[in-house]
Amino acid sequence: MLRSNTHTDKPAARRRASRLLGLALVLLVLALALPAGASAFVLAGAGSGWFAQTSGTTAYIDGVAFADATHGWAVGSEGAILATVDGGATWSAQGSGVTAYLYDVAFADATHGLAVGYSGAILATSDGGATWGTQTTGDHASVLYDVAFGDATHAWAVGSGGAILANNGGSTWSAQVSGSDEWLRGVAFADATHGWAVGNNGAILATTNGGASWSTQSSGSGSSLWGVAFPNASQGWVVGRQGAILATTDGGATWSERSSGTSEDLTAVAFPDATHGWAVGFSGAILATTDGGATWSVQSSASTGLLGVAFPDATHGWVVGPFGAILATTSGGFPPAPPEIVKLKPAFGKRGALVTITGADFGATQGASVVKFGSRTCTAFISWSDAQIVCKVAAKAKYGTVQVTVTTSEGQSNGKPFNVKR
């Protein structure tokens, strides 16, 4: 994910800092018109599968992590830590005890998490963020940009000057020899031994022994790389400047370019499995792939830069950005589909008879959704799931052949004929 840095004289970093300042000035104007906690996001295009959530803060949010579809955390400026236990329906602030800018957060499960940031800060929690405490890192990095778990006890953080720090479940971190002085912006571990770190000037480092040794991999790119994801030890993706997307299927022994379809700087990437992935951009684009990165398409675009992305599975996702901005999806970012009826069993019966409606996208629960037999609404239900509804034929359904339909918040289904007998 994107990491700002003003403590280097590298030309690329200076250009990037200038662009961040420009973005900040534009967003400041937008933010002044917003009430506290309101989202700065404005989505382009109708029918988006993304929706805004209320964070309750105007802080920059740079990192986001979800242990599952309900438990999530986000971190950012002024030591901000936000948490949710209901998939982002509500977010609440947690006390970090620091004012340093926090760049990233990672959770091994719903209770054990880490956050890293400016001045080499590392915070840890073992109770889901109810309490956070600082951990000892030594004078190894002026800033840490990213953190990742390999398993429940092993974690790594990367940052300035090629710094790589490792932790094996205790409260103390030790430095590992990266062999690079490039500023490292992203880190990912597929397990406790296989890991990768990416950074400025196309740097990709890899380890197969938990960081006991790190080696340089050839990215074939001179672009700054800001995000990396490895759902397993073989398949991985890296994103960076000017729409750069690199992919590997052999653990990074070889990397190849993929067409992102954009020249926008890509700041973060997430792959919950080997086929479904998302990348977010400095100008607000959300890109998605469902074929392992062979092709990418723009799902949506926001009116603000996006800095972090998290997908614990292929349908539930969150992206974050400046001024408390949080977007979420429960459909993999694709527009939710209207319901579809495939079959009625039986296809005839008397009023009050049981009918099983089989199909898709009915919703996990009924909620405000309705089933109609012609113009008459069904009021008696035995069960309701996303793929099947069992209900009784409406008491006043018209005799003869009528069309059965299901209507949800996403629209009305196709009709299937049902013969109402006397």
Indicate if 130 and 61 belong to the same structural domain: yes
For 250-284, write each residue's pLDDT tens digit. Answer: 999 999 999 999 999 999 999 999 999 999 998 89
5 domain-assigned: no
Indicate if 310 and 377 belong to the same structural domain: no
pLDDT given at position 68: 97
CATH of the domain at 376: 2.60.40.10
Residue 59 token pair: 């802080």
Q: Which of 278, 295, 329 is the last residue of a domain?
A: 329
| 389 three-state secondary structure | strand
Q: Compare 412 and 169 and report the one with higher pLDDT.
A: 412
Please compute the mean of the pLDDT values over residues 362-387 and round it to a whole number. Answer: 95
35: which DSSP letter?
P
Number of domains in the chain: 2
Q: What is the DSSP secondary-structure string of 76-145?
A: EGGG-EEEESSTTSS-EEE--S--SPEEEEEESSSS-EEEEEBTT-EEEESSTTSS-EE-B--SS-SBEE
1 domain-assigned: no
CATH of the domain at 125: 2.130.10.10
366 domain-assigned: yes
Position 341 confidence tier, pLDDT thresholds 50, 70, 90: very high
CA dist., res. 109 & res. 91, Å (int): 18
Q: Report long-range pairs for 18-24 (Cβ below 8 Å, ≥24 apart).
A: 19/282, 23/282, 23/304, 23/305, 23/322, 24/322
Indicate if 249 and 345 belong to the same structural domain: no
Indicate if 175 and 279 belong to the same structural domain: yes
Indicate if 131 and 177 belong to the same structural domain: yes
Indicate if 39 and 98 belong to the same structural domain: yes
Indicate if 104 and 66 belong to the same structural domain: yes
Indicate if 138 and 208 belong to the same structural domain: yes
Please check whether residue 348 is in contact with residue 74, taking contact to mean a CB–CB distance below 8 angstroms: no
Please check whether residue 269 is in contact with residue 226, taking contact to mean a CB–CB distance below 8 angstroms: no
Which range marks the domain in which residue 380 is found? 340-421
Decide if pLDDT at 70 tops 90: yes
Q: Which of 305, 329, 353 is the last residue of a domain?
A: 329
Please check whether residue 246 is in contact with residue 256, taking contact to mean a CB–CB distance below 8 angstroms: yes
335 domain-assigned: no
The pLDDT > 90 percentage for the chain reads 81
147 domain-assigned: yes
Using alpha carbons, select from 2, 7, 4 the residue that is nearest to residue 161. 7
Decide if pLDDT at 38 tops 70: no
3 domain-assigned: no
Indicate if 183 and 57 belong to the same structural domain: yes
Please check whether residue 199 is in contact with residue 216, taking contact to mean a CB–CB distance below 8 angstroms: no
Indicate if 243 and 298 belong to the same structural domain: yes
6 domain-assigned: no
CA dist., res. 272 & res. 230, Å (int): 9
210 domain-assigned: yes
CA dist., res. 76 & res. 44, Å (int): 25
Indicate if 147 and 170 belong to the same structural domain: yes
Indicate if 40 and 137 belong to the same structural domain: yes
CA dist., res. 108 & res. 410, Å (int): 35
Task: Provide the β-strand partners of residue 278.
Answer: 270, 288
For 120-147, write each residue's pLDDT tens digit. Answer: 999 999 999 999 999 988 778 899 999 9
